[in-house]
């Protein structure tokens, strides 16, 4: 299967706001790849590699800010600060922000959606897990169906202010079964969610049921390895009906490996690893020349 270019030049006209640009991108046939980012450098590198979109990943933010796992420890303020870093470094990137459970009840969800809409996010993810979660890293207990409905209803209502897209995620598959998960996806569609996400599908048949329940609206997938089942390739994900795929460990894991390698090189008496960027390439990546160009009109003649 042929996958589309990552960033076709005619898909992001500058006169459209981020939500409208993302809607236009999702209306074009083809699979959308969203690298997972967490700060200015990761966002800048993704944009420089030609990706039009990015997923502000809660697991990546937790790893980078806390040096810890993705267990609902990151706050609204920390995630918004990370979003502002991403937006500042890659202002043209269409960002889907991971907002977990919305940081509270339905009113907290509305505050979260409005804040991200005003800040320039293209889309926002809201899930149905219970918070605070039980003191264990396993299992994902979820809200009742009615409580989950009200969170998505609140998100969709708040999204009208900016037009930001709402991605509704259900985590109930491991604890309540696929029938309940599919029923929730159908419910979220009825409430007006723009993008749907079934977490932890057991097999391809469950994926197809979830995609069908989305009723033609885009379905989202996490394609980094680590789940209980084999991770589909991009081509396989597209053939299953997914429209968007993100890769939470796609950059994070290589970055952690490179940092470990750099530390090992220093511990062994060296200065850097064999794979390190040259000084010139690192300076170019960070934009030293761009800074000089932008600053030139403001230099005071000596």
pLDDT digits (tens, 9 = 90+) for 228-284: 777 899 999 999 999 999 999 999 999 999 999 999 999 999 999 998 999 999 999
Query: Residues near 296 by Cβ (< 8 Å), separated by ≥ 6?
Result: none
**What would the mean pLDDT of 74-81 be, rounded to a whole number?**
97
Other C-beta atoms closer than 10 Å to the C-beta of 48 total 10
The strand pair at 165-170 and 220-222 is best described as unpaired
Higher pLDDT, 31 or 302: 31
Asked whether residue 89 carries a pLDDT value surpassing 70, the answer given is yes
Report whether pLDDT(3) > 70. Answer: no
- Give the Cα separation of 206 and 201 in Å (integer): 6
Listed residue (180, 183, 182) closest to 205, CA to CA: 182
pLDDT value of position 5: 47
Note the pLDDT of residue 258: 96
Say whether pLDDT at 186 is over 90: yes
pLDDT at position 14 is 46
Domain ranges in the chain?
Answer: 18-248, 256-298
Q: With bands split at pLDDT 50, 70 and 90, how would you rate the model's confidence at 1? A: very low
Residue 138 confidence (pLDDT): 73
Helices then strands, each counted (H, E), the chain: 13, 8
Q: Are 198 and 127 in contact (CB under 8 A)?
A: no
Rounded CA gap, 223 and 218, in Å? 16
Q: What percent of the chain has pLDDT over 70?
A: 95
**Contact indicator for 141, 175 with CB cutoff of 8 Å:** yes
Predicted confidence band of residue 134 (pLDDT cuts 50, 70, 90): confident
CA–CA dist 133, 170 (Å, integer): 15
Which residue is associated with the tokens 């991009």? 234
Q: Which residue, among 166, 216, 152, has the nearest Cα to 195 in the 3D structure?
A: 166
Reply yes or no on whether the pLDDT at 34 is more than 60. Answer: yes
Looking at residue 228, its pLDDT comes to 76
Is pLDDT of 7 > 60? no
Could you give the CA distance from residue 146 to residue 166 in angstroms, rounded to a whole number? 18
Q: What is d(CA 192, CA 185) in angstroms, rounded to the nearest whole number? A: 11
Who contacts 236 (Cβ-Cβ below 8 Å, separation ≥6)?
Answer: none
How many C-beta atoms lie closer than 10 Å to residue 290's C-beta?
A: 10
Region 209-231 average pLDDT: 92
Closest-CA residue to 77 (of 104, 112, 127, 122): 112
Pairing of strands 244-247, 220-222: parallel
Confidence class of residue 131 from pLDDT cuts 50, 70 and 90?
confident
Tell me the H-state helices in 223-276: 234-240, 252-267
Among residues 223, 198, 199, 227, which one has the least CA distance to residue 211? 198
Sign, Cα dihedral of 254, 258, 264, 267: negative
pLDDT band at 11 (very low <50, low <70, confident <90, very high): very low
Could you tell me the fold of the domain covering 18-248? TIM Barrel (3.20.20)
Report the Cα 282 to chain-centroid distance in Å. 26
pLDDT at 6: 54
Cβ-in-10-Å burial (0-12, 13-18, 19+) of 6 comes to middle
């Amino acid at each position: 299967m042929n996958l589309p270019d990552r960033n076709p030049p005619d898909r992001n006209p500058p006169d459209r706001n981020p939500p409208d640009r993302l809607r236009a991108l999702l209306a074009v046939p083809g699979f959308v790849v969203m690298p997972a980012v967490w700060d200015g450098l990761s966002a800048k590198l993704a944009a420089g590699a030609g990706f039009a979109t990015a997923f502000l990943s809660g697991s990546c933010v937790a790893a980078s800010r806390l040096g810890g796992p993705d267990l609902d420890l990151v706050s609204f303020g920390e995630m918004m600060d990370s979003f502002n870093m991403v937006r500042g470094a890659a202002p043209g990137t269409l960002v889907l922000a991971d907002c977990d459970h919305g940081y509270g009840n339905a009113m907290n969800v509305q505050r979260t959606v409005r804040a991200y809409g005003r800040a320039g996010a293209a889309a926002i993810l809201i899930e149905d897990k219970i918070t605070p979660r039980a003191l264990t890293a396993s299992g994902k207990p979820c809200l009742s169906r009615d409580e989950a409905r009200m969170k998505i209803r609140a998100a969709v209502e708040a999204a009208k202010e900016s037009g930001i897209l709402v991605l509704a995620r259900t985590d109930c598959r491991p604890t309540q079964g696929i029938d309940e998960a599919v029923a929730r996806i159908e419910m979220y569609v009825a409430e007006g969610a723009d993008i749907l996400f079934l977490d932890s599908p057991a097999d391809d048949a469950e994926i197809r049921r979830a995609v069908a329940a989305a009723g033609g609206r885009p379905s989202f997938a996490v394609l980094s390895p680590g789940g209980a089942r084999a991770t589909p390739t991009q081509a396989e994900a597209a053939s299953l009906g997914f429209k968007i795929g993100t890769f939470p460990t796609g950059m994070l894991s290589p970055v952690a490996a490179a940092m470990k390698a750099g530390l090992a090189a220093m511990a062994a008496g060296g200065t850097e690893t064999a794979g390190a960027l040259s000084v010139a390439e690192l300076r170019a990546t960070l934009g030293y020349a761009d800074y000089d160009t932008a600053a030139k009109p403001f230099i005071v003649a000596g």
